[in-house]
Amino acid sequence: MSKPLSSPAIPLIAGLAVTLAAVAIFSWYTLHQIAGLRNLQTQTVDRNRKDSLQLLRIQNDLNSLGLAMRDMIGNDEPYPLQAWKGQFDRIQADLDDALRAERQLAPADPGSSRQVYLADSLSQFWTSADQIFALATSGKTEQARGFISNSLQPQEAALSTAVARLLVQNNETEQQAVTRIQSIYAGVERNIYIFLAGVLVAIVLISLYLIRANRRLFDSLAALSTQRSDLARKLITMQEEVLRSISRELHDEFGQILTAMGAMLGRAEKQPLPETMKEDLREIRDVAQSALEKTRSLSLALHPSILDEGGLEQAIDWYIPVFQKQTGIAVRYEKAGRGPEIPDSIAIHVYRVLQEALNNVAKHSKSPSACVRLLFTKGTLQLEIEDSGAGIPAGRTNGARPGIGLVAMRERAELLHGGIEFVRGATGGALVRLIGPLQEVAAHER
């Protein structure tokens, strides 16, 4: 007893679940990395660049102060020192605004030492600047210039140095962030390659499993097809043997009995009997004769004895007129070539295909005529039955969703190691074409 094939559905579902889980985990990890990358870009790189812009703004204002203080000390301009007060006020306002913006963008906390140092240093610078302008206003110009040289310029230089140091720190931080971003990109790229490799391995494994499962399935289907063909051959052979046996019984036993009854009734009719009794005997003899004719017709329908005695061609010559008489359908018979002597075991299948096809013409086609063509070529027999009726429905062309008659014809064609087609004819009706290799079939049957 062959072991039943296990369904590949469960392993495939498990493989699909593992694959989907791997995809989900990888997607989550990738999205997490991308979110970290986006946060690093927005929170570190972009913010650090904006902070550097504010530091450059502060540095530019400090440079403007330095230039202004140099002009104030040089006394090259015909303006008093207090005339620089407006420029200092504008620079102070811009510096305060830049410092507030930088405090919000600085990567460190607002209360860190760099923020405190900048705020305190600027506060001391402006306090010193106010003292200088106060001295200048009171007429102590030279003392004010000395204060600028000894106190205000060093404070401005210290502030510029601190701002420059902050710019260097921001640049270093940005370089570190770029390095981390490149590392994240490299990690994501590496993970993508790993994931693709894993997916390819999974696809290969699943494909190999499917190929193996399909191969086993096809082997099983081939074995089942062979068993089905053997079973069909045995059933059809048994059916023909049973029909032949019943036909012989009807022809030999019941036919002889009915013939003997008719003869006995004929002799009894010749005896000196009352006329009424002779009339009854004649009626009984007519009934017996009718039963004999029906028995012979049934015997021929089950298995035509002419097929055994005269072969396939004589059986077709006999059957076509009988079919025309029974159905009223005109059948044109065309024969080409000369065939070899066909064994009865082969001829019966060809005859049954012809019989079934013509019965389908009578039942389904609604065609007033049909054409039967028998063609013998070298080692090949071709039988065609064509009508001009409704044709075969599209759903049943070439045996798709066939009825039992089409199935039987296809089985008989396979037993002949031939082929059969169910197509539309040239006139729009149905065309049944049976092709069988006579030499190979005959050799197989022997």
Contact (CB, 8 A) for 385 and 432: yes
pLDDT at position 398 over 50 = no
Number of H helices, E strands in the chain: 13, 5
Angle at 233 between CA 231 and CA 237, to 5 degrees: 120
Alpha-carbon span 312 to 349, nearest angstrom: 10
Summarised one tens digit per residue, pLDDT across range 123-147 is 888 998 888 888 888 888 888 888 8
pLDDT of amino acid 395: 52
The answer to pTM > 0.75 is: no
Contact (CB, 8 A) for 338 and 376: yes
- The kind and range of the H/E element at 275 are helix 275-302
Alpha-carbon span 262 to 276, nearest angstrom: 18
pLDDT of amino acid 264: 79
pLDDT of amino acid 446: 37
Closest CA to 11 of 163, 195, 213: 213
Closest CA to 69 of 87, 54, 92: 87
Q: What is the mean pLDDT of residues 264-290?
A: 77
- Classify burial at 305, counting beta carbons within 10 Å of its beta carbon; exposed 0-12, middle 13-18, buried 19 or more: middle
* Residue carrying the six token digits 């989900």: 24
Torsion angles phi and psi, residue 193, rounded to 5: -60, -45
**Domains detected in the chain:** 9-210 (1.20.120), 308-445 (3.30.565.10)
Alpha-carbon span 235 to 291, nearest angstrom: 31
pLDDT at position 282 over 60 = yes
pLDDT of amino acid 372: 92
pLDDT of amino acid 60: 92
pLDDT band for position 394 (50/70/90)? low
Structure tokens at 107: 């990567």
pLDDT band for position 396 (50/70/90)? low
Summarised one tens digit per residue, pLDDT across range 74-123 is 766 667 888 888 888 899 899 888 888 887 877 654 445 777 787 888 88
Q: In what order do the strands lie in the sheet with 419-424?
A: 330-336, 369-377, 380-387, 430-437, 419-424
Alpha-carbon span 253 to 269, nearest angstrom: 24
Identify the DSSP state of 354: H
Torsion angles phi and psi, residue 433, rounded to 5: -125, 120
pLDDT at position 403 over 50 = yes
Q: What is the mean pLDDT of the chain?
A: 79
Summarised one tens digit per residue, pLDDT across range 419-436 is 898 888 777 788 899 988
pLDDT of amino acid 439: 57
Max CA distance (Å), the chain: 184
pLDDT at position 230 over 50 = yes
